[in-house]
Amino acid sequence: MRKLGLIGSLFVALSLWAASSLPVFGDGPSGTVPVTISTSAVACIRIDTTGIAYQNVALGGTSVGMVQLDTCSTVAQRLEARGTDTTGGATWALVDTGTCSNGLLTNQFKHAIDQADTGFLFLSTSNKSLGTLPTTAVDLQLDTALHAACPGSNGAGSTLNSSIIFTAFLP
């Protein structure tokens, strides 16, 4: 019985000793660790246009539209755009050169964005620069032009789909 009492006392003593070595939460000493947060800028644009509908465009014809977007970055950024081939009623390849009377083949079309100062930039399936956007928020209205595939191409009377893909980059 005496051994049991001695073991019990030893257990209590060890428990108190272990508890005293744990951190104390309360009014005891405290310390401060300074933290520095360094942020980096991000490229950011918002496209406010849900779609462009070029209506009743004849083969070989042209139609205009508009895209509205705004910047949401606090730093200068480079804006680029590219287009896609059509899908749907026919497949037309997006090209950036030629006209129906000079080099544009059947089932090829052109899509352009007006750059105001330098005129229309004809898109391709690779990114092309639209220039540098300012460091302050700005609303942009970009005129677009579709040059439909030449007469003799597939897709007359069909609805075709294509996209313009805008990407902002930090310089």
Residue 26 is predicted with a pLDDT of 59
Name, in order, each residue with C-beta under 8 angstroms of 113's C-beta and a sequence gap of 6 or more: 67, 81, 120, 121, 123, 130, 142, 143, 144, 164
**Looking at this protein, which amino acid is placed at residue 12?**
V
Name, in order, each residue with C-beta under 8 angstroms of 171's C-beta and a sequence gap of 6 or more: 76, 77, 78, 132
Please identify every stretch of the chain with a pLDDT value under 70, giving residue numbers as ranges. Answer: 1-27
Residue 136 is predicted with a pLDDT of 79
Residue 19 is predicted with a pLDDT of 52
| Residues 85-129: tens digit of each pLDDT | 999 989 999 999 998 888 788 999 999 999 877 789 999 999 999
Q: Which residues of 23-49 are buried (b: 16+ CB within 10 A; e: fewer)?
A: eeeeeeeeeeeeeeeeeeeebebeeee
CA 139 – CA 127 distance, rounded (Å): 21
Residues 67, 130 contacting (CB under 8 angstroms): no
